[in-house]
Structure 1
């Protein structure tokens, strides 16, 4: 791996660790002040609020990194997400059932932090598991 790939590999692993440890105050280490999130310009605070929304609805949410591909300043990740919704989430009511589903996330990094992020959740799997 190139030095850039090694660096982004380390950064991404720390990012997932920070989210799983609920250390959202560390997001300045990973994301620029202004970024593009699923095609929309947002502040880092807005991005953190989106994560907090998931965590409020699924308090035991865990992201497990399964695959990480780095090419230049771009990162692609396949994750397995798990948790048990406790409030309405993704338009679905909680049932007490845990869910496990795939998430795909793509990033463009500049100066060691991402400035663009796109993600896609397998909501069909979530709906199926919650009985919707």
Structure 2
């Protein structure tokens, strides 16, 4: 797959997340995938993302930097949101939080099969005040 095609595919995945089109997630994510070394089904992955967006309804996935190397795509995602419920294991204070996620994806057959994610939880913790 070309770098341009993989990048476009990934941007479609982010649009799916931002539009909360959970029923379409299987178009972008394999039935079984690995997330930070743990085996998940697509529905488990979906539940994880839904929990985050339920806790912070205005959460948007904003790519700041995308790099493609073969079947691997790396992205620095930026988030600014107002968590309403426990978010990333932290009790919200009601204010806005901004943070980054550095994430790598491996694709097979145009679907995400592996994810390595590092979220700056310390930045969130500092802003929430906990």
Aligned length: 130
Partner of 2:22: 24
Match of 2:109 in 1: 111
TM-score by length of 2: 0.96
Of residues 60, 71, 74, the one that matches 2:72 is: 74
Check the 8 A contact 1:104/1:121 in 2, yes or no: yes
**Equivalent position of 1:50 in the other structure:** 48
Moved beyond 6 Å, runs of 4+: none
CA–CA separation in structure 1 for the residues paired with 2:114 and 2:85? 29
Q: TM-score, normalised by structure 1?
A: 0.95
Ranges in structure 2 where 5+ consecutive residues have no aligned partner: none
Do structure 1's residue 96 and structure 2's residue 94 form an aligned pair? yes
> SS of the residue aligned with 1:62?
coil
Query: Please, what is the CA RMSD of the aligned residues?
Result: 0.9
Distance across 2 between alignment mates of 1:7 and 1:26: 19
Please list the CA deviations of residues 53-87 of structure 1 after superposition, one character each: whole Å capped at 9, or x if unmatched: 10111111111100000000000000101211101
Which structure 1 segments of 5+ residues have no match?
none
Moved more, 84-93 or 95-104: 84-93
